[in-house]
Amino acid sequence: MSGQTQPLFVSLEGSDGLRERFCLQGKYERVNDFKRYVIDAAKKELDESSPYSFVAKEEKEGKKVIGWTLFPVFFEDREDPALQEQARMAKVTARLQLEN
């Protein structure tokens, strides 16, 4: 979700669902377990090592969870200074880069 600004809906089941994408058919049959071991684990890892994260909101049809809407979050204070400099230099024209 790097650079993503709009919420993204991801379904749990189906050909483009998370179980299919991560080859987890037959594992974590309970949605609560899927959320704990897949969604929450991914969020925890991103929070520890990346300036990007997300907030996951369960989407339901009746009582059944059909997927999640992922809201991207960017933390500027966690961004790598080398990557910040690289992005800044990419915005500077080639002529200015040659002068330095």
Q: What is the CATH number of the domain that holds 84?
A: 1.10.10.10
3 found inside a domain: no
Inside any domain, residue 80: yes
Q: Where are the beta strands (DSSP E) in 1-100?
A: 8-11, 52-61, 64-74
In a domain, 27, yes or no: yes
Q: Answer whether 38's CB lies under 8 Å from 28's CB.
A: yes
- For 2-58, write each residue's pLDDT tens digit: 667 899 999 999 888 899 999 998 899 999 999 999 999 999 998 888 888 899 999
Residue 2 is assigned to a structural domain of this protein: no
0.75 surpassed by pTM: no
Average confidence (pLDDT) over 65-89: 81
Per the structure, how many domains does the chain have?
A: 1
Q: Does residue 41 belong to any structural domain of this protein? A: yes
Q: Does any domain span residue 51? A: yes
- Residues spanned by the domain of 34: 8-99
Mean pLDDT confidence for 75-99? 71
